[in-house]
């Protein structure tokens, strides 16, 4: 098959804005394509040479592409760059320059799809010190034989600018029509895609073996499954109603969703967008190696940044420090992660994607050995609105985004690649960001573990309620303390230790150590949220709930000048909450 046939179709696809027309053009192309290279043609139409989850990319920088074009056209790089300024498109510029080539070549040969694909493949695989020169030479070779139109698409492909706008779904439509027998077979074809994430493989099996081959498609360890997505609602009533009155509610952790594929000791991690992100999380891989008891498994987890000192969860943004190529060892130390497992899609030869969620969760529980840093996503099974609401507030306060509420019905399968009502996100509509520091009273403490053994892991802090003359808990704070602070704290607090909760302290939480309400420290939090466990301003905003400070951090200031009664009052906290309450705009 000649590459020009593909280039002609690209040109027509570019000219249309109608999806149906685009589909028809693709159908035409796919029918014309010899079956043995249909996978390659499918990848090429997506501007790729492998499925998305394969890490190899052609990866030619524009500068190098220009160099190759200069070589093949016999023109100077500066001339080409000048033209690029006008066209803004490396493809169009290539078309111009190949059309007006200065350099004659020997024996021009028409480009076949095979040759273009193989050359791209060689370019992608080139590595080592000479890789750049090799890539340029290979590209120049293609351009030397390319027509101006072919040159345009070759250049766009290698620089990652093909952008024909052919969605995966359009390819699936076209495949169903071309080889499935009609658009109505699309659902079957789509399932094969959803469990393999490999359009090329689906195309090839469908073209060569027909629908029978497609029906035999299986989940394969190493091929990412397209993730199941959730709808969203913001009231527990609606959620329970949608899910038939009962659901499994899980913490929706504020981390990165990962799909882990385990084959013996070999573990690959895929992101939500199916990129191989194994290199970012060597520690997560190590954890999974130890804590997943199955030989072969595909499991899903939320990977959350934790505070290395306290083990508390950190916001999602902290994970960005892990998106790097170099220095991952250091980032691992500074930004360690915990894993919260929530689904099992395949375990030791058994495809679980068509099993209801309670069965999958049970299977997951049977193969995960929990530990300090690997846990099952915290969950409850409930049919009660109030319980769901409280569990939600607890999740928020603990640093989660909210809840994932999942159907327990017999048909609650894993809908790979689909957004449906089997899973419903319960997130907040409003949040109240904190801008000022508060002065809080230390009323209790929790023993530290690990690095903090022998000192306190976190302090229980309270605001002052002048009406009742009580201290009402508002947060647990373990962040912001220097090693020196930590070393001194037991000494400083020693004289205030009492054997039980102080009568003026109002707390639903059991602390390990109780103090007289004397010491005041300055704290800055990220936001104030409704809380089912803290007593600060109980019932003031909502019946049965108090207020809590999320992501609190000690600023380093001991307010020795302040008496406990001079601390921030519960009334002030209510005011702060109300003043800053804003609707959350999803980005």
406 binds another protein (CB under 8 A): no
Task: Tell me which of 111, 138, 206, 416 binds another protein, using CB under 8 A.
Answer: 138
Report the nearest approach of another protein to the CB of residue 366 (Å): 48
By the 8 A CB rule, do 167 and 45 touch? no
Structure tokens at 146: 């390319």
Phi/psi of residue 512, each to 5°?
Answer: -75, -35
Q: Count CB neighbours of 473 within 10 A.
A: 26
Alpha carbon distances (Å) from 57 to 68, 109, 123, 525: 18, 26, 9, 43
Helix (H) or strand (E) run with residue 374 in it: strand 374-376
Q: What one-character-per-residue DSSP string does 542-556 give?
A: BTTBEEEEES-EEEE
The interface region with another protein, picked from 95-103, 216-224, 273-281, 492-500 by CB under 8 A, is 95-103
148 binds another protein (CB under 8 A): no
Let me know if 483 is exposed, middle or buried by CB neighbors in 10 A (0-12, 13-18, 19+): exposed
The interface region with another protein, picked from 94-102, 259-267, 498-506, 548-556 by CB under 8 A, is 94-102
Report the nearest approach of another protein to the CB of residue 136 (Å): 9
141 or 315: whose CB is closer to another protein? 141
The interface region with another protein, picked from 103-111, 204-212, 236-244, 543-551 by CB under 8 A, is 103-111
Cα angle 384, 386, 387 (rounded to 5 degrees) comes to: 65
Task: Tell me which of 102, 289, 324, 449 binds another protein, using CB under 8 A.
Answer: 102
Rounded-to-integer distance, Cα 84 and Cα 90, Å: 6
Q: Count CB neighbours of 93 within 10 A.
A: 25
Question: Pick the catalytic residue: 135, 149, 204, 252?
Answer: 252
326 binds another protein (CB under 8 A): no
125 binds another protein (CB under 8 A): no
Phi/psi of residue 447, each to 5°?
Answer: -65, 140
Alpha-helix runs per DSSP H in 352-402 = 357-367, 385-397
Task: Tell me which of 15, 85, 106, 326 binds another protein, using CB under 8 A.
Answer: 106
Task: Tell me which of 134, 147, 271, 580 binds another protein, using CB under 8 A.
Answer: 134
123 or 441: whose CB is closer to another protein? 123
100 or 495: whose CB is closer to another protein? 100
The interface region with another protein, picked from 97-105, 242-250, 355-363, 522-530 by CB under 8 A, is 97-105
122 or 419: whose CB is closer to another protein? 122
Report the nearest approach of another protein to the CB of residue 102 (Å): 5
Q: What binding mask, one character per residue, do residues 65-84 give for another protein by CB under 8 A, x or -?
A: ------xx-x-x--------
103 binds another protein (CB under 8 A): yes
Report the nearest approach of another protein to the CB of residue 134 (Å): 7
Report the nearest approach of another protein to the CB of residue 280 (Å): 34
**Is 109 noted as a catalytic residue in this protein?**
no
105 binds another protein (CB under 8 A): yes
397 binds another protein (CB under 8 A): no
By the 8 A CB rule, do 47 and 162 touch? yes
The interface region with another protein, picked from 98-106, 331-339, 343-351, 360-368 by CB under 8 A, is 98-106
Contacts of 420 (CB under 8 A, 6+ apart): 228, 229, 230, 231
Report the nearest approach of another protein to the CB of residue 372 (Å): 48
99 binds another protein (CB under 8 A): no
Let me know if 315 is exposed, middle or buried by CB neighbors in 10 A (0-12, 13-18, 19+): middle
104 binds another protein (CB under 8 A): yes
Rounded-to-integer distance, Cα 47 and Cα 130, Å: 25
By the 8 A CB rule, do 217 and 205 touch? yes
- How far is CA 26 from its chain centroid? 31
Q: What binding mask, one character per residue, do residues 161-200 give for another protein by CB under 8 A, x or -?
A: ----------------------------------------
Contacts of 178 (CB under 8 A, 6+ apart): 26, 27, 30, 31, 207
101 binds another protein (CB under 8 A): yes
Q: Count CB neighbours of 58 within 10 A.
A: 23
Catalytic residues, by residue number, are 252
**Contact set with another protein (CB under 8 A):** 71-72, 74, 76, 100-108, 130, 134, 137-138, 140-141, 143-145
């Amino acid at each position: 098959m000649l590459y020009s046939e593909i280039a002609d179709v690209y040109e027509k696809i570019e000219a249309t804005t109608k999806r149906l027309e685009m589909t028809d053009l693709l159908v035409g192309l796919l029918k014309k394509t010899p079956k043995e290279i249909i996978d390659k043609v499918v990848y090429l139409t997506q501007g790729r040479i492998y499925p998305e989850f394969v890490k190899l990319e052609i990866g030619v920088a524009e500068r190098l592409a220009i160099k190759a074009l200069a070589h093949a056209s016999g023109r100077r790089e500066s001339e080409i760059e000048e033209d690029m300024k006008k066209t803004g498109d490396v493809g169009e510029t290539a078309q111009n320059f190949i059309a007006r080539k200065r350099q004659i070549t020997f024996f021009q040969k028409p480009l076949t799809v095979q040759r273009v694909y193989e050359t791209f493949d060689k370019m992608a695989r080139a590595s080592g010190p000479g890789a750049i020169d090799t890539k340029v030479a290979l590209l120049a070779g293609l351009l030397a034989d390319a027509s101006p139109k072919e040159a345009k698409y070759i250049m766009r492909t290698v620089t990652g600018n093909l952008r024909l706008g052919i969605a995966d779904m359009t390819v699936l439509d076209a495949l169903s029509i071309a080889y499935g027998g009609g658009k109505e077979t699309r659902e079957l074809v789509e399932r094969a895609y959803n469990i393999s994430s490999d359009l090329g493989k689906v195309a090839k099996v469908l073209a060569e073996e027909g629908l029978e081959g497609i029906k035999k498609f299986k989940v394969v360890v190493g091929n990412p499954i397209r993730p199941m997505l959730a709808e969203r609602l913001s009231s527990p009533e609606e959620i329970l109603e949608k899910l038939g009155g009962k659901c499994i509610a899980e913490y929706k952790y504020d981390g990165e969703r990962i799909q882990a594929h385990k084959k013996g000791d070999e573990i690959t991690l895929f992101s939500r967008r199916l990129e191989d992100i194994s290199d970012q999380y060597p520690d997560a891989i190590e954890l999974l190696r130890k804590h997943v008891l199955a030989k072969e498994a595909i499991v899903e987890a939320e990977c959350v940044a934790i505070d290395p000192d306290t083990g508390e969860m950190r916001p999602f943004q902290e994970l960005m420090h892990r998106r790097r190529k170099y220095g991952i060892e250091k980032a691992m130390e500074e930004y360690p992660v915990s894993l919260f497992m929530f689904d099992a899609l395949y375990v030791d030869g058994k495809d679980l994607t068509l099993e209801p969620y309670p069965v999958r969760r049970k299977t997951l529980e049977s193969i995960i050995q929990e530990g300090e840093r690997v846990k099952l996503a915290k969950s409850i099974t409930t049919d009660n609105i109030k319980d769901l609401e409280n569990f939600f507030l607890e999740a928020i306060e603990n640093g989660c985004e909210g809840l994932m509420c999942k159907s327990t019905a017999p048909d609650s399968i894993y809908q790979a690649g689909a957004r449906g009502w089997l899973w419903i996100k319960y997130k907040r509509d409003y949040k109240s960001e904190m801008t000022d520091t508060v002065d809080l009273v230390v009323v209790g403490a929790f023993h530290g573990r690990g690095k903090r053994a022998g000192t306190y892991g976190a302090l229980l802090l309270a605001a002052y309620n002048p009406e009742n003359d009580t201290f009402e808990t508002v947060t647990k704070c373990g962040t912001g303390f220097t090693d020196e602070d930590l070393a001194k704290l037991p000494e400083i607090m020693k004289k205030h230790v009492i054997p039980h909760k102080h009568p003026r302290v109002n707390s639903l939480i059991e602390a390990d150590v109780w103090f007289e309400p004397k010491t005041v420290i300055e704290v800055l939090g990220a936001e104030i949220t409704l809380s089912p466990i803290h007593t600060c301003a109980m019932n003031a905003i909502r019946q049965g709930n108090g207020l809590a400070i999320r992501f609190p951090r000690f600023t380093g200031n001991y307010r020795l000048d302040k008496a406990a009664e001079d601390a921030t009052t519960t009334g002030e906290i209510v005011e702060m909450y109300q003043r800053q309450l804003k609707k959350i705009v999803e980005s």
